[in-house]
Chains A and B, each alone.
Chain A
Amino acid sequence: MDWSVTVNMAKPGSQTTPRKTAHGGWCLLVMNLLLAVAALLVAAFCWIVPIEVIEQWAFDRAGQGTFDRFEAIGQADFFVWLGRIVAPLWLWICWSIGSHLAAWEAYGIELIRGLAAITRLAVESRSTGRVSLLASLRTYGLRGLLVAWGVLWLAHAVHGLGLRGHDWPYFRFHSGEEVLPNISDSNRLVIRYLREATPPTARILVASDQKLFFLSYYLRPRFLLHRMHPDSEHVIPLKDQQRKLAAFRLEDLTAEDLVQMPHDYRLEYFEHPDLVDQTQVLSDTAWVAFVRRTTKNPSLIPPYLVRLRKVDP
C-alpha cells in the first residue's frame, strides 16, 4: 500500500507543482479505517447471528398494537438482509480506498477544489483586486444552501429507508392482487367475497355509499357499474365513515337507469350507520358465512350491509 500523500495546493486554474502533506492522508486513513471496522462488524453480525434470534429480539420489543409484532419481525428481516448485502459492499469500497489511499486523497482534494471553483460567485474587482463582502456572501450562501440541500436529502433518504422497512412486512414479494394494499378491511373483505361469489365475466350493478375504485380495480375483469350520487361526486371520503356520502339505493334507480346499466348481479354495499338497515345485515347468507369463515369468528354479525343477488336473465 502506498501511504505517501501528495496534495496539490494550487488555486483552481493555476499550474503548480504538487506538494506532499500528511494531514489529509491521515484523516482519510482514519475515517476509512473507522468505516471499514463498522462495516466489518455489521456484516459479521448480520451473517453470523441467526435471523431468528434477531426476529425474536424485535418481537420481544414490539408494542401491543394489532400489527406491531408482525411489523417488527418483518422489519427485522428487512434490515438484516439490507445489512447482509450493503455491509460487505461497503467493506469492499473501504478496501479499495485503502488500497489506493494517495490517489483517493488527491481525488478528494480535486473534488473539493472543483466544487469550490464552480460555486465561486465572487469576482475580484479589476481595479482593487479584492472581493467585495457582498460577493463573498453570495458564494458562501450558495455553498451553504448546497450543503443544506445534501443534508436534507440524506435525512429524507434515511426516512425513506425507514418507510421501505415499514412496507416490507406487508408486501415482501407478494403482488398487489394478493395483498390488496392500503384499503379498508371492509373493502378488502368485499373484494375477496365477490371474487369467490361471481365469475370473472360478471357485470355487477352496485348501490353503495362507498367510493368503489379499488373494488373496480381488483375485481377486473368483472365490470362494476355504479350510479354515483351527484352530491358525493367530488367528496373525499374519510376514515371509519366519519363522512357520510350521499348514495342511491337500488330502489332509487329507475327502469331506464337499469336499462342503461345491463348487469347480471346486484350488490348492495352500505357502511355508514345511517344507511345500513340492521335488519338486513344477515340476509345474504353466503356473505355472512364468508365473513365468519375469513375472520374465524362463527358468531360475527357484520357491522355493514353487503347483499349480493344474481339477476335472472
Chain B
Amino acid sequence: MIVVTELFCLILGLIGQSLFGVFVAKSVLRLNSPSTVPPQVADETRSNSIPLAELLGLGLLFGVGLTAWFLLVWSLSGGELGIVPSGVLALAGFATGGPILWQEVRLWWQQGREYGWQQGRTKPIGEDLGKQQRAVCRTCQSLIAILMVLALLQTLQTPQKLWDERAIFALKARVLFEDRSIDSPALRHADFVQYHPHYPLLLPLAEQNVYALLGRVDDRWSKLIFTALYCGLVLTTAGVLQRHLTCAQAWLGALLMATIPVLMPYEYGFLCGQADAPTACYHGLSLLYLWETLSRKSSQRPAIGSMLLAGLCGALAAFTKDEGIAYLMINGAILGLFLIGFLRSREQLRRALFGMVLFVAAASTLMIPWLIHRRSLPNTTEMNYFGRMTVDLLVSRLETLKWSVPHLIRRMFWEWREWGLQWWLMLAAIACRPWRVLQPPLLLFLLDIVGSLAALLLAGMLAPAQLDEHIGGSSHRFLMQIAPVAVLFGVILFFSDEPLPRGEETL
C-alpha cells in the first residue's frame, strides 16, 4: 500500500510538472500564432496552429528540464530541495497547464480524428489521398505509441547499472536528495569520490526530483525521466514537422526519429540514465526550431516563439552535458555566418539580429545560474579542454587526426549495423537533392554536424587521455548526440518540396 501511495505521488507530481511544461510551451508558441502570418500566405496550404503532439512533447521535455532548472535556482536562492519545491511546481502545473491541455484535448476531440491529419500543411487534396494520408498517420502514431510503451517497460526493467549513469549523475542525484541542497559539502569537496564534478546538473536534479516525490531513493524509478524525454523528442518532432510537411510525412519522420537504433533500444540510449540521449533530444529540437525560424519568408513575421524555443532547448542541452555548450557555440557561429548573407538588406539584417538576440537571451537566461554555480565546484577528473587549448598543443597533436578521422567515418558509415542508418539517410538526401542543401535553413543542419564532428576531433587532440580509449570508447555516444540532427536533415530534405525563397531567407 505504501509503495502504491509513493508511486501515485510520483506519477501525479511528474504529470503536474509536465503540465507546467505545457503551460510554458503554449505561452512561448503563442508568439508564433497564425495571426503573425499575412493573409496571402495563410491559405489552406499552411496551418500555423500548435499541434497537440508538439504541446505534449514540449510539456514532457520542459517538465523534466525546467523543473531541474527551477530547483537549481530555488536551491541557489537558499531554498531546501525536497517535496516542497517539487510539489509546488506540480501543483502550479495543474493550475496553469491543466486548463490549457484540457482545452486542447477537447478541441482535438471535437474536431474528431480528422483534425490530426488536417492540421499539418495540407494542400487541397482528393478524398482518396486524404484516406491514404490518414492511414499512414494512424499507422505511424500507433507504432510510436507501441514504441513508447516498449521504451517505458525496458527502461523500468533494470535499475541504473552503467558506469557514467551512476558515477556521474545518479551519485550526485543521491547526494542532492540526502543533503537537500546544491551547496552540498560533498559536491564541493575536491576529495569526495565523484566523477566529473563540473558536469551539469539537469539530470541529477531531475532524478532528485523523482526521489523527492517518491520519498526515497530508487534508481529504477528515476529512469522514468528518460522515457519522458524519448516521448518528448518524438512528439515534438512530429508536431513541428506537421507545420511544414503533410501529416503523413511528419509522423513518418517522427517514426524514423523513434527508431534510431542507437537511441532506442540500444542500452546506452534512452533506456539508461546516461546523458547522451537527453543531450541528443534537446540539441536536435533546438536545431529543429532554428530551422523553423530560418524557414520563414521575409513576407512573414519573425517566428519569435520558435527562436526562443531554440534557445531554451539549446540551453537545456548545455545544462544536460558539457557538449551542449559546444553545440550552442557552433550554432551561434552558424547564425553569425548567416548574418553576413543578410548584410545586403537592412530589414533582413534587423530581423536576423533580433532573432539572434532572442536566441542568445533565452539560452543565457537558463545558463547563467548554472555557470555561476559551476565556478565553485572542484576540478577533479575534469579534462579542462578550454584551459588546455594552445596552438603548440594542437600542432603537436595533429597526428591524432590520422587515427580519429578514419575512425569516425568507420563509425558513421561502416558500422551501420550497430548504430543505425541515419548517416546514410543524410548522404542519400544530399545525393537526391544536392541543390537544396545550400539553402540556409538546411545548411544549418549540415554545418551543425560538421561543426560537431570537428569539435570531437578537437577534443581528441586536447584530452589528456589515450586517444583510442578516449575517442574510441566514446565516439558512438557522441554520434548519438547528433543522430537526431541527421534524421531531421534527411527527412526535411527528402520530404519538403516547398521552393525556397531565393535571397529572402530571414531569421
Contact = CB atoms under 8 A, between A and B. Distances in A.
Nearest to A225: B191
Interface in A182-228: 182, 206, 211-217, 220-221, 223-228
B114 interface: no
B469 to A, nearest CB: 5
Given A153-B259, A153-B261, A213-B171, A114 B248 contact: yes
B135 A111 contact: yes
B192 interface: yes
Interface stretch (B54-62, B87-95, B154-162, B344-352): B154-162
A175 B159 contact: yes
B465 interface: yes
A163 interface: yes
Contacts of A289: none
A13 B125 contact: yes
A160 B171 contact: no
A176 B160 contact: yes
A3 B339 CA distance: 63
A295 B252 CA distance: 55
Contact of B194 (A145, A167, A182, A216): A216
Interface residues of A, number: 64
Contacts of A236: 465-466, 469, 473
A118 B246 contact: yes
Given A111-B136, A213-B171, A14 B417 contact: no
Contact of A227 (B191, B424, B494): B191
Contacts of A68: none
A148 B166 contact: no
B133 interface: yes
Contacts of A211: 167
Contacts of B126: 13-15
A164 B154 contact: yes
A214 to B, nearest CB: 6
A104 B360 CA distance: 51
Interface string A249-266: 000000000001100000
Interface centre among B132, B162, B194, B217 (most CB of A within 10 A): B132
Contacts of B128: 8, 10, 12-16, 113
Contacts of B256: 146, 149
A167 B193 CA distance: 28
Given A114-B248, A216-B194, A152 B166 contact: no
B135 A145 contact: no
Contacts of A286: none
Nearest to A149: B421
A221 B463 CA distance: 33
A297 B434 CA distance: 70
A221 to B, nearest CB: 5
B193 A114 contact: no
B191 A260 contact: yes
Contacts of B194: 213, 216
A168 B157 contact: yes
B265 A160 contact: yes
A7 B37 CA distance: 41
Contacts of A175: 159, 218-220
Nearest to A141: B428
A175 B186 CA distance: 24
Nearest to B427: A145
Contacts of A61: none
A301 interface: no
B157 A167 contact: yes
B49 interface: no
A171 B469 CA distance: 30
Nearest to B463: A234
Contact of A179 (B150, B154, B159, B428): B159
A273 interface: no
Interface in A112-152: 113-115, 117-118, 121, 138, 141-142, 145-146, 148-150, 152
B46 interface: no
Nearest to B416: A152
Contacts of B150: 157
Interface string B137-173: 0010000000000100010011111110011001100
Given A156-B266, A213-B167, A233 B432 contact: no
Nearest to A172: B157
A177 B221 CA distance: 13
A138 B150 CA distance: 33
Contact of B193 (A181, A182, A216, A235): A216
A164 B161 contact: no
Contacts of A168: 157
A176 B473 contact: no
A110 interface: yes
B425 interface: yes
A206 B193 contact: yes
A182 B164 CA distance: 12
Contacts of A153: 259, 261
Contacts of B171: 213, 216-217, 220
Interface string A88-104: 00000000000000000
Nearest to B417: A152
Contact of A13 (B129, B167, B252, B420): B129
Contacts of B464: 234
A107 interface: yes
B189 interface: yes
A156 to B, nearest CB: 4
A175 B222 CA distance: 12
Contacts of B218: 175
Given A118-B133, A138-B432, A182-B163, 15 more contacts: A8-B128, A110-B131, A110-B134, A113-B132, A118-B246, A121-B494, A152-B417, A167-B157, A176-B161, A179-B159, A206-B193, A213-B166, A228-B380, A228-B381, A234-B463
30 contacts: A8-B128, A13-B128, A14-B126, A15-B128, A111-B132, A111-B135, A111-B139, A114-B132, A114-B248, A115-B136, A115-B252, A118-B249, A118-B495, A121-B494, A138-B432, A146-B256, A157-B265, A168-B157, A171-B158, A175-B159, A176-B160, A176-B220, A177-B217, A216-B193, A221-B178, A223-B192, A225-B192, A226-B193, A227-B191, A236-B473
Interface of A: 8, 10, 12-16, 107, 110-111, 113-115, 117-118, 121, 138, 141-142, 145-146, 148-150, 152-153, 156-157, 159-160, 163-164, 167-168, 171, 174-177, 179, 181-182, 206, 211-217, 220-221, 223-228, 233-236, 260-261
Pairs A-B, 7 closest by C-beta atoms: A114-B132, A176-B159, A160-B265, A213-B167, A216-B193, A114-B136, A110-B135
Interface of B: 125-129, 131-136, 139, 150, 154, 157-163, 166-167, 170-171, 174-175, 178, 186, 189, 191-195, 217-220, 246, 248-249, 252, 256, 259, 261, 265-267, 380-381, 383, 416-417, 420-421, 424-425, 428, 432, 463-466, 469, 473, 494-495
